[in-house]
Structure 1
Amino acid sequence: MILLKNATAVQFEPALVKQGVDIVIDNGLIKDVGTNLSSKYPNALIKDLKGQLVMPGIVCSHNHFYSGLARGIMADIKPSPDFISILKNLWWRLDRALDEEALYYSGLICSLEAIKSGCTSVIDHHASPNVIAGSLATLRKGFLKTGLRGMTCFETTDRNRGLDEMAEGVEENIRFAELIDAAKAKGEEPYLVEAHIGAHAPFTVSNEGLSLLSNAVKKTGRGLHIHVAEDTYDVTHSHHHYDQDLVERLDSYGLINNKSLLAHGLFLSDKDIAILNDKDGFLVHNARSNMNNNVGYNDKLASFKNVALGTDGIGADMFEELKFSFFKHRDAGGPMWPDSFLKFLGNGNELLSRNFSAKFGQLTPGHKADLTILEYMSPTPLMADNLAGHFAFGFNASHVSSVMVEGQFVYEDREFPFDVAPIYAEAQKVAARLWKNMDALKS
């Protein structure tokens, strides 16, 4: 049992800022919240936070851990004037160059960086066409090594080997979901990692593939995680080949439900948005990635019932992502203020609640003890009414001092519980080899 003493409790939704709070953690859950609780729990290990901010864990709701060794990439990348050429010349070469070792270190580094940035959980979307079977279990090792909570899935696609590749991707998704179910049943280790059923995007998944995915969703009870309408090409392709809007097509195969996670969605039709809202699914907005790929802006954010924030592989700094999301929205003439984007950030915990069948996102008894702790000295009053303003204009990842997942510190007083220097040193060697492998591949 751990007692976090003298904390400043911060909650996203409903907004809360309260000083002098004690939080008792036991068996992975918040057990009690109040003042002067040390006498009530005399056997608890006490950590005096001296006024540091304690908030529900921060979630990155869409990421690509396979891209972890791409930073500063030194491979021969052709000029890429449009979205499809960016995919073909960079990302689809990178994912084909991955082997098991590169995948492991990419996922492990991304897990460490996410924690250091204040994330307690990351929802990953994976691709490694030449290492399909067992790839998700390899990523899971990184989550468990670092103590990061997360979800992952394999990006089912036909872009390399057609239907055979799609079938292998679906099989890997099912195999991983069954691995998770078996691990839960045995109770041999912390339940930190869950599964989605993954697919790349509608334009690289045929109707035969959607049928396979539909069966996988029904068999496993999981939701679909897919990119949609990241570029106008996806919409045009669907109209050309299937005479349907994107979400309409996915829904016709029973793939939209309250566990569905659709990334980007810049160019979804009003009909598509209505379907997603009616099925209570999620859109995940990735502002920096959209800007980097020059694909445009999602000016319909306010029309979606459920919105969360992700990075699409540009690290896992959700403080920075919230800022970019808000500033880009304002730059595009949008009407929303920081409180809307703080709600989007907090919605990542709702995604966890739906998939882990547990309570996340509030500092109340019975909720998971996934917590982000900040050492933040504010020059102005910090209160519930201006909390979102501090997120947009004040907080950043450098303020993260500690991170707790499932009631355990995975990062405490800016230190990991194990030496990470050898991991980074090895990752540099693996990255250099990965880049050479990319140059040996044709676009």
Structure 2
Amino acid sequence: MLVRGKYVLTDGANGKSVFQEDAAVLICQDTIREIGPYEDLHRRYPQEDVAGDGTQILMPGLIDAHTHGAGLSYVQRGVTLDYLENALLKFATAFQLQPETTAMLNAVRHIQNGCTTLHHNESGAALDPHLKETCARKIEGYQTTGIRLGFSPGVRNKNVLAYDDREFLKTLPPDLRQEAEPMVYIDQERAVDEYMEAFEDLYSKYNSAKTRIFFGPNWVQGSTDEFLRRVKERADQLHKIPIHLHCLQTPVQKAFGLRKYGKSLVGHLDDLGLVDSNLVLGHAVYLSEEDIALLAEKDAFVTHHASCNLIMRDGIAPVYYMLKAGMNVAMGMDEKGINDDEDPFMEMRMIYFLHRHAGISLTECPALSPYEVLRLATVNGARPTGFAGEIGALRPGMKADMILVNTQEILNAPCMLPGFDMGEVVLRRGLGRYTDTVIVGGEKIMEHRKLLKIDLEALYQEVREQVSHGRTQAQLDREAFLERIRPYYQAWYNSWLENVELDPFYHFNSRN
């Protein structure tokens, strides 16, 4: 198959313009064989089917390196988002679709907006006898859609109710304390054994050319040291597959590290030997300069969730300084995009605009270029999703993952002056709904906006049917219990924040 474009973005790896005009990509099976002028390739390979009408943008498929695969967004499920520590009490009882349905719906939202790969981090419960089955059903749901998948099962084997929850328990009145104890005093060792068993089963059954299974313990502060050591040992045995951890998302998590370990959570991970080239930290809003230097030195990764961090009132990760220090950063949408629709173009735009405030000098701290941002959403997403060196660019020998984007609204509504920078245009004017065709591993999975692997209306009807049953009584009872705990929970964290000093990387305004 030949895939042609008026403007072809081949590679964002160098952080500069690499668009070719009137070019095409030759695909052989699941791999890119050749890239060059369309007329030349078409003359030499006249028997090949042609995708693209010659007016579109052809670019690498976009990569969401961090999501939890809700399918229906939180607002669609009636959950108001707030500070993470407040929202966690709501997340615990939110309505859930059936596993395969939520996976398929999440994949659809990504495919329709131009993503060819996503990483699903499963936020499972420790000691859940259904964890393995739930993960398997989600993986199989994703696979029916044709999307490329990274999948990491995750649990917390400590601090399930709150950070430092055994001490928190002491602050509760006797009736609540008694009711909360089973959530706090869990069998931490058995939780790790069951998690590792589930991982091994999923890895043996599903790890493949288009699906990569790796580790995803949910939180640094939710994992015992022994849990993290076992994960690191096994990940390295499996040729250093990724280890994905949420880390330093909020000031409360920063305070936890200082209280518990006398240092940053990144420093604690380094003490355990986890800061390495296969470590991926989700969010990382509250990294220190020392953390950034260490992560850059050890070749670790961060997934950046610009919109989510704003929606959850977390703050703004210092991505400008991460990149200037040589850190690896990839884009993750975390199912909380600014438009509530998993649009990676909007997320790139958010990143592009958000990190323009590193300094106030007119000659220092230049803003990120469009190509630095495009890199976050393409080639930089390969390693943290388990596909290092295989995806994220249109190069001979790489997997044939690409999208065609219609340019009518981008360039012709009403016009664009000659001499424009296509990278700037994509970042400023692109939208997910302009994606026309999606190709994964040389196979079309969407063409002219029509999904080719699944029946969209049948899927939507199944979603509506499941939603009509609402939440279970057990979920409603648990929600009522957590709401009774909320005032004590908030007081617990607020007391920590009194002693946390924050010196922001970015400048937005001034009190004086």
TM-score of the aligned structures, taking structure 2 as reference length: 0.76
> What amino acid is the match of 1:214?
K
Name structure 2 gaps, 5 residues minimum: 161-182, 360-364, 483-512
2:59 to 51, 55, 61: 55
- C-alpha distance in 2, partners of 1:382/1:179? 53
Question: Which residue, 108, 111, 116 being the options, matches 1:115?
Answer: 111
Q: Distance in 1 between matches of 2:117 and 2:5?
A: 25
Q: For the residues of structure 2 that align with 1:123 and 1:267, how far apart are their CA atoms?
A: 23
Amino acid at match of 1:92: A
Higher mean displacement: 148-157 or 32-41: 32-41
Q: Is the 8 A contact 2:319 2:355 kept in 1?
A: no
Residue 366, structure 1, aligned to residue 397, structure 2: yes
How far apart are the structure 2 equivalents of 1:269 and 1:5? 45
Structure 2 vs 1, CA of residues 144 and 381 (structure 1 numbering), >3 Å: closer, same or farther?
Answer: farther
What SS does the aligned partner of 1:154 have?
strand
2:225 maps to 1:207: yes
Q: In the TM superposition, what are the counterparts of 1:228-243 in structure 2 within 5 Å? A: 228-243=247-262
**1:132 maps to which residue?**
131
Shift of 1:49: 2.0
Task: Give the letter for the 1:363 counterpart.
Answer: L
Aligned equivalents of 2:5 and 2:376: distance in 1? 28
Aligned partner of 1:187 in structure 2 is: none
User: CA–CA distance in 2 between the matches of 1:218 and 1:13?
Assistant: 26
Q: For residues 182-234 of structure 1, what are the alpha-carbon distances to aligned partners after superposition, in whole Å with 9 as ceiling and x for unaligned?
A: xx4xxxxxx21102201111121122322332233234331210110001121
- The 3 A distance-change label for structure 1 pair 154 and 274 is same
- 2:322 corresponds to which of 303, 318, 321: 303
Structure 1 residue 310 displacement after superposition: 0.9
Residue 41 of structure 1, aligned match among 22, 38, 45: 45
| Aligned position for 1:4 | 3
Amino acid at match of 2:23: V
State the superposition RMSD in angstroms. 2.5
CA distance 1:389–1:8, change in 2 (3 Å): closer
The Cα offsets for residues 217-276 of structure 1, whole Å up to 9 and x where unpaired, read as: 234331210110001121221222223321222223232322321111111122222221
The question of whether the paired residues in 1 share the 8 Å contact of 2:330 and 2:381 is answered with no
Match of 1:324 in 2: 350
The 8 Å contact of residues 331 and 381 in structure 2, kept in 1 or not, is answered as no
Pair 106,440 (structure 1): closer, same or farther in 2 beyond 3 Å: farther
Q: Which amino acid aligns with 2:427?
A: A
Report matched runs for 1:7-46 at 5 Å. Answer: 7-11=6-10, 12-14=12-14, 15-35=17-37, 36=39, 37-46=41-50
Alpha carbons of structure 1 residues 295 and 269: separation in structure 2 relative to 1, 3 Å:
same
Residue 82 (structure 1) shift: 3.9
Classify the secondary structure of the residue corresponding to 1:316. Answer: coil
In 1, are the aligned partners of 2:378 and 2:393 still within 8 Å (CA)?
A: no
Alpha-carbon distance, 1:81 to partner: 6.5
Report SS of the residue matched to 1:330. coil
1-structure distance, mates of 2:472, 2:263? 41
Deviations 1:66-94 (A, max 9, x none): 4646342236x7xx864312112x22233
> Is the Cα–Cα contact under 8 Å of residues 104 and 142 in structure 1 kept in the other structure?
yes
Q: Following the alignment from structure 2 to structure 1, what is the Cα–Cα distance between the partners of residues 60 and 291?
A: 32
* In 1: Cα distance, 2:446 partner to 2:6 partner: 17
The residue matched to 1:31 in structure 2 has which SS?
strand
> Cα distance, 1:400 vs. partner?
0.5
Task: Please tell me whether the aligned partners of residues 170 and 197 of structure 1 are also in contact (alpha carbons under 8 angstroms).
Answer: no
Please tell me whether the aligned partners of residues 212 and 387 of structure 2 are also in contact (alpha carbons under 8 angstroms).
yes
Q: Which string of whole-angstrom CA distances, capped at 9 and with x for unpartnered residues, describes residues 296-344 of structure 1? A: 1223542341111111122531111111222232367685234232232
Q: What is the CA–CA distance in structure 2 between the aligned matches of 1:289 and 1:208, rounded to whole Å?
A: 30
How far apart are the structure 2 equivalents of 1:216 and 1:238?
Answer: 25
Q: Which moved more, 1:395-404 or 1:294-303?
A: 294-303
**CA 286–123 in structure 1, closer or farther in 2 if over 3 Å, else same:** same
Q: CA deviation at 1:425?
A: 1.1
What do residues 359-378 of structure 1 show as CA deviations (whole Å, max 9, x unaligned)? 32332321211001101131
**Residue aligning to 1:188:** none
Name 1:313's counterpart in structure 2.
Answer: 335
* 2:210 counterpart letter in structure 1: L
The answer as to whether partners of 2:60 and 2:393 remain within 8 angstroms in 1 is yes
Answer whether contact 1:246 1:272 (CA < 8 A) is retained.
no
Q: Corresponding residue for 1:180?
A: 206
Q: Closer, same or farther in 2 for the Cα pair 1:398/1:303, shift >3 Å?
A: same
Over 3 Å counting, the alpha-carbon distance change for 1:433 and 1:255 in structure 2 is farther
Q: How far has the Cα of 1:8 moved from its partner? A: 2.6
Q: CA deviation at 1:114?
A: 0.3
Deviation (angstroms), 1:278: 1.5
| Residues 133 and 362 of structure 1, relative CA distance in 2, 3 Å threshold | closer
Secondary structure of 2:42 counterpart: coil
Whether the 8 Å contact between 1:69 and 1:427 is mirrored in structure 2 is no
Which residue number corresponds to residue 280 of structure 2? 261
In the other structure, the counterpart of 1:423 is: 459
Hey, what's the Cα distance between the residues in 1 that align with 2:418 and 2:263? Answer: 49
CA distance in 1, matches of 2:250, 2:195: 23
1:343 to 375, 397, 404: 375
Is 1:398 matched up with 2:428? no
Q: Which secondary structure state, in structure 2, belongs to the residue aligned with residue 197 of structure 1?
A: coil
Residue 148 of structure 1: aligned partner: 147
| Aligned mates of 1:380, 1:13 — CA distance in 2 | 27
1:351 CA displacement: 2.1
Residue in structure 1 matched with residue 86 of structure 2 by the alignment: 85
Find out whether 1:270 has 2:289 as its counterpart.
yes
Number of residue pairs the alignment of both structures matches: 424
Contact kept, 8 Å, 2:121 with 2:153, in 1: the verdict is yes
Determine the C-alpha separation between the residues in 2 that align with 1:289 and 1:125: 15
- Cα distance in 1 for partners of 2:417, 2:119 equals 34
CA distance, structure 1, for counterparts of residue 218 and residue 115 of structure 2: 24
CA, structure 1 residues 127+394, in 2 after alignment: closer, same or farther (shift >3 Å)? same
